[in-house]
Amino acid sequence: MSDVVLRAEGLHRTYGSGETAVHAVSDVSLEVRAGELVVLRGASGSGKTTLLNLLGGLDTPTSGTVSLGDRDVTGADESELVELRRRDLGFVFQGFALLPVLSAAENVELPMRIGGMPATEREERTAELLEAVGLTGHENQRPDELSGGQQQRLGIARALANSPRLLIADEPTGQLDSTNADAMMALIARLVHERGVAAIVSTHDPRMAAYADRILELRDGRLVRGRHAA
C-alpha cells in the first residue's frame, strides 16, 4: 500500500460570508493509498458529505487542493472532471442512485457503455462484477425488484465498472439494517483489498470502523483524529 492515490492539502469549504459564513470543511489534509480502506467517521452535520464531494470533484473548495495521482482535481475544467469521474472515480451513494428503468445488468453496464467499452468486454465485466457482489442470477431484475442490501451491492458493482482508482462511498450503510450493513462493509473491504482500489467511506455508525485500515474523525468540518485500525 505504498502508492498514494488521493491527496488533499489544506481544504477549506465556506458557504456565505461575514458573520453568517458556514465553515463546512476547515483545513483538512489527508492521503489515501492503493488498496487502503479509510473510514471517515463523524456525526450528522460534521461535514462528511461536503468533504467527499470536494475529494470527488463534485464541489470546488474555497481554498486548498485535491490530487488524484498526479492529476490536479481542483484545477481541472468541467470536461476534464467528467473524464476523471468516468475513468478514475467510483461513487456509492446512500440512496443507491440506480436507474429504475434499467435491469441490474444494464445499470452496471451503463458506465462502460458511456466509456466506449466494446460490447463483448462489457458483457464479460458485467457478469464478473455481479458475481463479485453476489448478484449472479439477478441480472434481469430491476432495482425495485431487489432488496435494499441487493440494491446497494448493485451500486458497488456499478461504481467499480470502469476499474476506478478511487472509490468514494457516502454513508453506504445508512439505509440498511445492522446485518446488511455489516455485510456491505465486509464486501467493500474485500473488494478494496483484492482489487487494489483506494477507498474512503463515510459513516456515522461506530461499528463500521471495524472494517477500516485507517480511521479519520471529522468534527465541525475539521479532522480531529486519525489512526490505524487495530
Residues 127-184 have pLDDT tens digits of 999 999 999 999 999 999 999 889 989 999 999 998 999 999 998 888 788 888 888 8
Burial letters 184-217, b for 16+ CB under 10 A, else e: bbebbbebbeeebbbbbbbbbbeebbebbbbbbb
pLDDT, tens digit, for every residue of 77-136? 889 988 888 889 999 887 778 999 999 999 999 999 988 899 999 999 999 999 999 999
Q: What are the beta bridge partners of residue 89?
A: 166
Written as one string, the DSSP assignment of 85-144 is HHHTEEEE-TT----TTS-HHHHHHHHHHHTT--HHHHHHHHHHHHHHTT-TT-TT--GG
Q: Judge whether 42 and 219 are in contact, CB under 8 Å.
A: yes
pLDDT band at 227 (very low <50, low <70, confident <90, very high): low
pLDDT, tens digit, for every residue of 195-215? 999 999 998 888 888 999 999
